[in-house]
Structure 1
Amino acid sequence: MSPVPALRITRRTTLGGVLAAATVLVGCDLDPRDPGSSSEPPADADDPDAALVEDVAADIFATRQLVESLQRRHGSLRRPLNELVRVHDAHLAALESSRRSGRRAPRPGNAADALRLVRDRELRLQRLLADHSVAARSGRLARLLASMSAAIAQQLAALPGGESR
Structure 2
Amino acid sequence: MRDTSLGRTRPSRRAVIAVGAGAVVALSGCDALDAVTGGPDGASPSGDVTPTAPAADADDAVVGRAKAALESAERAAVAAAGVPALAAIGSRLARLHRAHLRELGAVAGTATSSSPAASTSPSTNAPAAPAPAGDRARALRALVTAERRLQDELVGAALQARSGVLAQLLASMAASVAQQRAVLR
Unaligned runs of 5+ in 1: 1-44, 103-108
- After superposition, give the CA deviation of every residue in 1:43-94 in whole Å (9 maximum; x if it has no partner): xx9411012111111110111012102212x121101222211210110010
Partner of 2:180: 155
The answer to whether the Cα contact below 8 Å between 1:61 and 1:99 also exists between their aligned partners in 2 is no
- The share of aligned pairs that are identical, in percent, is 39
Q: TM-score, normalised by structure 2?
A: 0.55
2:89 equivalent in structure 1? 80
Matched residue, 2:78: 68
Counterpart AA for 2:153: L
AA of the residue aligned to 1:65: R
User: Which residue of structure 2 lines up, in the alignment, with residue 129 of structure 1?
Assistant: 154
Which protein has the larger Cα radius of gyration, Structure 1 or Structure 2? 2
1:128-159 deviation line (CA, Å, top 9, x unaligned): 10011000010000000000000000001112
The aligned residue for residue 98 of structure 2 is 89
Is the CA contact 1:58–1:99 (under 8 Å) kept in the aligned structure 2?
no
**Matches of 1:100 and 1:62, distance apart in 2:** 10
Q: Is the 1:83–1:155 contact (alpha carbons within 8 Å) kept by the matching residues of 2?
A: no
Q: Indicate the structure whose relative CO is greater, using CA pairs within 8 Å and at least 6 residues apart.
A: 1
Code of the residue aligned with 1:78 in structure 2: it is: A
- 1:100 and 1:89 map into 2 onto residues whose CA distance is 9
Number of residue pairs aligned between Structure 1 and Structure 2? 109
Q: Secondary structure at the match of 1:95?
A: helix
Q: What CA deviation, in whole Å up to 9, does each residue of 1:65-124 have, x standing for no partner?
A: 12102212x12110122221121011001011225268xxxxxx5101110111111011
Letter in structure 2 aligned against 1:92: L
Matched residue, 1:144:
169
Runs of 4+ in structure 1 over 2 Å off = 99-102
Is 1:50 the counterpart of 2:60? The answer is yes
